[in-house]
Structure 1
Amino acid sequence: MKDEKEILKWLNNELSSEEINDLKKSEGFETLEKIAYYTAQMQAPSIDAEAALEAFRAKNSSKNKSKTKVRHLNFSTFYKVAAAVVVLLTSAYFLFYNTTQTFETHIAQTQTFNLPDNSQVLLNANSKITFNKSKWDEYRTLTLLGEAYFQVQKGKTFSVNTTDGVVKVLGTHFNVKQRDNYYEVSCYEGLVSVTYNNQTIKLPPGETFRVVNKQIASVANFESQNPSWMEKESSFDRIPLSQVIAELERQYDIKIKVDDVDTSKLFTGSFTHSNQKIALESVTIPLKLSYKTDGKTISFYNYGL
């Protein structure tokens, strides 16, 4: 039992420098170092110690024998420490690498979920939100790719980071849409602070901040209580057709091609998320366009072509 007592003394920092140097020459010392490291950081739950011991023995038996004479430690009754290695390595993985929470939607899909502070998020189609759940109480910060509506509980500053700008609030209801060449923030309740290109804009209820193709656009005030997509409808106010087409593709899992159509022309109107034919007609008819369908591929073209 001398070896086991020696190991326990080492884990408790009770060995002299000479004894530590002697122990370092022992086979299996690398594993013991891992045990000491993880034991110092977390408490291991109970597991199948016998299975862990067998795995530990197999690992050591597979090593090539060195020509240099080394001492062999006795692990016969030290299996609990070996078992702890397995548990602690697994725990360390989740501690250091599994702190990021992600919510993601696909084409034609929406999702509702609560954040750790019970703030509610409604995620639109083909969108993604990530945040550090272990630090949420300290930093209410998340990253958004796509579009989401937020109902934020009052508390510390709540920040939404996007590739185009940052939205900060204390407690309010607002919608953020960040797509290719399009960025829009609308406030429905409270006060929203939007930072874009080092410029900060305050949005009271009923106001919108919009950037299209890196140009700030003027937007009329609104009176609605929620964004239209929450009612399974997409609404647009002087939005380039290219953005409308992209939204149709997200909501219906289709691919839209254009034939000599000016996709920069502005569209004002809406389309439903529940009927593809009506949605396509709602967009093409006001713009005096026609369309044809080939499976999931839709072609837009001008009248007469």
Structure 2
Amino acid sequence: MEKENDILKWLNREISDEELMRLKESKDFNTLDKIAHYSSQIETPKVDVNKSLADLKLKTKNTSKKGKVIPFNFKNLYKYAAAIILLLTTSYFLLFNTNNTNFKTAFSETKNFNLPDNSEVVLNSNSEISYANKDWQENRNLTLNGEAFFKVQKGKKFTVNTEIGDVTVLGTQFNVKERVNYFEVKTYEGLVSVTYKNTLIKLPKGSIFKVVNGVIDTTNTFNINEKSWLQKESNFKSTALHFILDEIENQFAYTIETKNVDLDILYSGGFTHSDINIALKSVTIPLQLSYKIDGKKITIFNHDK
């Protein structure tokens, strides 16, 4: 405390000779001396208090008359415009889209659910359905990407929209499959209407409509008692191999690669969804192919080449 008092007296030039001698003997005196020297070189601004007060009163008076002036700024314009657009978009979404419902399945997953009219849906693996709850009873309309089985309650028109074609019924049981370059509709009960490229096709019970790579398949019937993916089994009739392999990927969540294999070769038969090895043998043995499993990767190859 004595040292601090000596420093304050020295800065105020009130220090005695004895106190000065004591301060100079301290190890910090050289630093203090330099600080005092450089601080003495700084000029503090001289302020005319009366003039400053008068200027402030005048500025306040002018501001109150003219009001506050905000310079125009294009950045502010963009900011406000963006806020308005966001508000309008959000309002539209809240008014018209809050009742949208989506169901989605991953690889090797299926899902059962009911629609608002109690129509039953079984969604196959790697598939998605979306529809609007609002006015569902008046507009039974949904979008499908993938495969699903429908058991529709009787009522007004029921439509399944896909990227390739649309399916319309009143009340029936049917299956719709839409994959890349593949579209298939099977009727299990009642009558189904399929719209494909502005052409309307009527499918009674036991009928099938299939389009592969943009070409309509001539097969028009199927066995309704034959097991399907609903019984954990996939069946095909004269279908290109690459579609079969795609379905194995969907059902088992494996990645499949091929070597020296004709992917357009036709396959008739089926495979179980319960065991990957049995499924692969069911497909590869009839086609005289071999396979190898490494982790989640499958390689299928022609052992003759």
- Normalised TM-score (structure 1): 0.69
Determine if contact 1:188/1:226 at 8 Å carries over to the other structure.
no
3-state SS, counterpart of residue 112 of structure 1: strand
**1:1-305 equivalence runs, <5 A:** 67=68, 94-225=94-225, 228-305=228-305
The 1:264/1:229 distance shift into structure 2, 3 A limit, reads: same
- In 2, the alpha carbon distance for the partners of 1:291 and 1:135 equals 51
- In 2, the alpha carbon distance for the partners of 1:301 and 1:219 equals 30
Alignment deviations for residues 136-192 of structure 1 (CA, whole Å, 9 cap, x no partner): 121000000000000000000000000011100000000000000100000000000
Aligned residue identity for 2:68 = K
Determine if contact 1:208/1:219 at 8 Å carries over to the other structure.
yes
- In 1, the alpha carbon distance for the partners of 2:223 and 2:212 equals 22
Determine if contact 2:209/2:220 at 8 Å carries over to the other structure.
no
Higher alpha-carbon deviation: 216-225 or 291-300: 216-225
The 1:135/1:67 distance shift into structure 2, 3 A limit, reads: same
- In 2, the alpha carbon distance for the partners of 1:170 and 1:92 equals 31
- In 1, the alpha carbon distance for the partners of 2:181 and 2:143 equals 18
Aligned residue identity for 1:67 = K
- In 1, the alpha carbon distance for the partners of 2:232 and 2:94 equals 38
Determine if contact 2:100/2:131 at 8 Å carries over to the other structure.
yes
- Number of aligned pairs? 221
The 1:299/1:270 distance shift into structure 2, 3 A limit, reads: same
Percent of residue pairs identical: 52
Aligned residue identity for 1:106 = A
Alignment deviations for residues 229-255 of structure 1 (CA, whole Å, 9 cap, x no partner): 000001001110010000000001111
- In 2, the alpha carbon distance for the partners of 1:93 and 1:238 equals 46
Aligned residue identity for 1:122 = V
Aligned residue identity for 1:112 = N
- In 2, the alpha carbon distance for the partners of 1:177 and 1:284 equals 24
RMSD: 2.0
Higher alpha-carbon deviation: 133-142 or 112-121: 133-142
Determine if contact 1:175/1:227 at 8 Å carries over to the other structure.
no
- In 2, the alpha carbon distance for the partners of 1:95 and 1:165 equals 29
Alignment deviations for residues 108-163 of structure 1 (CA, whole Å, 9 cap, x no partner): 00001000000000000000001111121210000000000000000000000000
The 1:302/1:129 distance shift into structure 2, 3 A limit, reads: same
3-state SS, counterpart of residue 244 of structure 1: helix
Aligned residue identity for 2:195 = T
- In 2, the alpha carbon distance for the partners of 1:228 and 1:208 equals 14
Per-residue deviation, 1:94: 4.3
Per-residue deviation, 1:91: 9.6
Per-residue deviation, 1:96: 3.4
Per-residue deviation, 1:219: 1.5
Per-residue deviation, 1:262: 0.5
- In 2, the alpha carbon distance for the partners of 1:173 and 1:237 equals 21
Match of 1:58 in 2: none
3-state SS, counterpart of residue 163 of structure 2: coil
Aligned residue identity for 1:141 = N
Structure showing greater Rg: 2
- In 1, the alpha carbon distance for the partners of 2:206 and 2:178 equals 19
Aligned residue identity for 2:266 = L
Determine if contact 2:97/2:132 at 8 Å carries over to the other structure.
no
Determine if contact 1:188/1:225 at 8 Å carries over to the other structure.
no
Per-residue deviation, 1:218: 1.5
Per-residue deviation, 1:220: 4.9
- In 2, the alpha carbon distance for the partners of 1:200 and 1:245 equals 31
Aligned residue identity for 1:245 = L
The 1:227/1:136 distance shift into structure 2, 3 A limit, reads: farther
- Long gaps (5+) in structure 1: 1-65, 69-89
- Normalised TM-score (structure 2): 0.69
Aligned residue identity for 1:208 = I
Aligned residue identity for 1:108 = S
